[in-house]
Amino acid sequence: MSKKLLLKDAHIEGIRYFDVYRKQGGYNAVEKALKMTPEEILEEVKTSGLRGRGGAGFPTGMKWSFLAKPEGVPRHLVVNADESEPGTFKDRYLMEYIPHLLIEGMIISSFCLGSNASYIYIRGEYSWIPDILEQAIEEAKQAGFLGKNILGTGFDLEIYVQRGAGAYICGEETALLESLEGRRGNPRLKPPFPAVKGLWERPTVVNNVESIAAVVPIINITGAEYAKIGVGRSTGTKLISACGNINKPGVYEIDMTITVEEFIYSDEYCGGIPNGKRLKACIPGGSSVPIVPANLLLRTINGEPRYMNYESLADGGFATGTMMGSGGFIVLDEDQSIVEHTMTLARFYAHESCGQCTPCREGTPWMYKILKKIHSGQGTMEDIDLLWDIQRKIEGNTICPLGDAAAWPVAAAIRHFRDEFEWYVKNPELSQKQNYGLANY
């Protein structure tokens, strides 16, 4: 049974509301934290080993310690709730069912970082959630946990909710800041990092929803206790949104010691694959991370079980492993076509490219065009090589990671499933009638 820190009260009726949340011990962490110094809170977060839950896994305490503190310049905390990575919906769950956990985490984090105005930037498609967050903010304010002189400590904090307008790129932290400032969401060059020059050129910490929510249990149980959960540098718990060909899609909280096999097949989590079908592949961390075939997903190249944590999933690098990413776990059964799947993702990235850099602007629609050609049975062997070549030229040559995110799925698909691409070339008539999965498994 996995330990639960974030979702432990998610099943309680009315937990969305302040009174019920408070009765379960909600806001105790704020009371405790406001008696500590910002330095002591930072130390707890560092000790916890918490890593950014948005996808990059950057150590949260280290990011906070990079925050510049020039005299007389305001600092900000911005929560990235622009959860748009295909297959990822864990932040939505958290905000919809336990909004006070995020607000409580934001109060503690803002106090630690010295932010008196903090922001939640939420994707436009989550249209019903801003009202839930705004109600939670109002309730917290009425109870004295937000606004002026919180709990008589002299600390002031306002939290603002800003809706995005449906662009995936606004989840990239600097594009998000541009959008928050009222401009088109074009990513900025880094460095400078937001910690030095962020919102309105002020020092800013941008953190994912789940990362900030995790600060609450860290303060409640201490960073040292949090660090004891999990394994190695994968401390604490992680929310995983599971979808695709599984019996029980949903959001699960895991403690990162379980194996991938257990996660897919046990009734506590995904409950196996419907209709007794075989596992073909999986994207374990949202669409931007490389797809992994079943044999490498369940075992490492050394034959060891693969675990649901940062290190084990990345074991072997991109050639064999993948990444924990955002925790968007997409399972594909034997009937699925990798070419079709890759084509769908390529269309997504081509549509979402902001167009600033040539390799991404020109390369992403080009990859989609070639994949469409191959999928429709009109491709050639040279097209497969060209596709490989294009993704190589995009990777590492763009301003923001969207370019890499578009290149990696194509690279991994060709690397692991080249025979499938070739089947589409060799069987033009068949490929138009049935997909590779249905024809070959």
Q: Under the criterion CB under 6 A, does residue 325 sit at the interface with ligand NAI?
A: yes
| Order of strands, sheet of 158-163, starting from the edge strand that comes earlier in the sequence | 158-163, 117-122, 76-81, 204-208
CB of 335 vs ligand NAI, minimal distance in Å: 27
Q: Under the criterion CB under 6 A, does residue 352 sit at the interface with ligand NAI?
A: no
HEC sequence for 387-426 = HHHHHHHHCCCCCCCHHHHHHHHHHHHHHHHHHHHHHHHH
Binding-site partner at residue 195 among ligand NAI, ligand SF4, none, CB < 5 to 8 Å by type: ligand NAI
Q: Under the criterion CB under 6 A, does residue 401 sit at the interface with ligand NAI?
A: yes
Q: Under the criterion CB under 6 A, does residue 173 sit at the interface with ligand NAI?
A: yes
- Residue showing tokens 């130390």: 43
CB of 52 vs ligand NAI, minimal distance in Å: 6
Site residues (CB under 6 A) for ligand SF4, limited to 389-418:
398-400, 402-403
Binding-site partner at residue 403 among ligand SF4, ligand NAI, none, CB < 5 to 8 Å by type: ligand SF4
Tell me whether residue 57 or residue 236 sits nearer to ligand NAI (CB atom): 57
CB of 166 vs ligand NAI, minimal distance in Å: 13
Backbone angles phi, psi at 383, to 5 degrees: -60, -35
Q: Give the whole-angstrom CA distance, residue 351 versus residue 396.
A: 20
Site residues (CB under 6 A) for ligand NAI, limited to 30-69:
52, 54-56, 58, 63, 66
Q: Are strands 117-122 and 158-163 parallel, antiparallel or unpaired?
A: parallel
| DSSP H or E run through 74 | none
Site residues (CB under 6 A) for ligand NAI, limited to 98-117:
none
| DSSP H or E run through 36 | none
CB of 371 vs ligand SF4, minimal distance in Å: 18
Q: Under the criterion CB under 6 A, does residue 55 sit at the interface with ligand SF4?
A: no
Amino acid at 266: S
Q: Give the whole-angstrom CA distance, residue 252 versus residue 260.
A: 13
Site residues (CB under 6 A) for ligand SF4, limited to 355-384:
355-357, 360-361
- If one counts every other C-beta atom within 10 angstroms of the C-beta of residue 165, the result is 10
Q: Give the whole-angstrom CA distance, residue 344 versus residue 355.
A: 19
Task: State the residues that interact with ligand SF4 by CB under 6 A.
Answer: 169, 187, 353-357, 360-361, 398-400, 402-403
Task: State the residues that interact with ligand NAI by CB under 6 A.
Answer: 52, 54-56, 58, 63, 66, 83-85, 88, 171-173, 193-195, 206, 285-286, 288, 325-326, 401
